[in-house]
């Protein structure tokens, strides 16, 4: 029998009452879990892409400053998966997942305008967890992961569509 992988858990959400845009990944990868930081893998383009969206050099900032700048720009972070079994970091390896309570969290955010999904797996799981009657704009994004190999400029064009939700 194949090893289904160790049980992995998501981090706490990074949100506050001013969150207008909630960006959801699937489940932190191995480097992120080891460092207990969202998007810690140096080849993941998340901080560079979000820096384009919010107009700040997030990739060059320290982790706590990155999170503070996102909150100042009304951006929150979380993952769609609460727990899952996974060997390695690829979304395709996620097994036996339990979703996070996305709808319940979103309901606590009084100025939330949009929820964005970082990659296809996040979208599939997140949309199912939110239900068909979600009252927020839902945005599918190309994954910031280095495993998703479309070029940065193509990703950038799609991610920049998030900027209007911040104003």
Strand partners, 84: 8
CA 115 to chain centre: 10
The confidence score (pLDDT) of residue 39 equals 97
- Predicted confidence at residue 89, as pLDDT, reads 84
- Residue 142 belongs to a domain: yes
Task: Give the E-state strand segments of the chain in sequence order.
Answer: 6-9, 21-25, 75-79, 81-86, 95-99, 114-118, 137-141
CB 147 within 8 A of CB 43: no
Which residues does the annotation mark as catalytic? 44
Two structure tokens written together for 75: 């951006």
What number is the average pLDDT over the span 42-61? 97
> What's the number of domains the chain is made of?
1
Q: Which domain holds residue 114?
A: 6-166
> In angstroms, what is the C-alpha Rg of the chain?
15
CATH number at residue 116: 3.40.470.10
The pLDDT tens digits for 75-131 are 999 999 999 998 888 878 788 999 999 999 999 999 999 999 999 999 999 999 998
CB proximity list for 59: less than 8 A, separation 6 or greater: 47, 48, 51
Q: Is residue 86 part of a domain?
A: yes
Residue 1 falls within a domain, yes or no?
no
The pLDDT assigned to 1 comes to: 40
The whole-chain average pLDDT of the chain stands at 93
In a domain, 45, yes or no: yes
CB count in 10 Å sphere of residue 127: 17
């Amino acid at each position: 029998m194949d090893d289904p992988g160790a049980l992995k858990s998501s981090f706490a959400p990074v949100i506050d009452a001013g969150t207008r845009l909630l960006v959801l990944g699937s489940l932190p990868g191995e480097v992120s879990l080891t460092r207990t930081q969202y998007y810690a893998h140096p080849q993941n383009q998340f901080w560079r892409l979000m820096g384009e969206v919010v107009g700040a050099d997030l990739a060059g900032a320290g982790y706590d400053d990155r999170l503070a700048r996102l909150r100042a720009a009304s951006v929150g972070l979380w993952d769609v998966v609460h727990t899952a079994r996974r060997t390695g970091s690829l979304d395709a390896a996620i097994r036996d997942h339990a979703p996070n309570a996305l709808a319940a969290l979103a309901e606590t955010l009084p100025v939330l305008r949009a929820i964005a999904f970082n990659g296809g797996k996040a979208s599939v799981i997140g949309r199912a967890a939110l239900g068909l009657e979600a009252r927020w704009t839902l945005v599918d994004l190309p994954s910031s992961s280095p495993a998703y190999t479309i070029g940065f400029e193509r990703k950038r064009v799609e991610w920049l569509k998030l900027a209007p939700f911040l104003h």
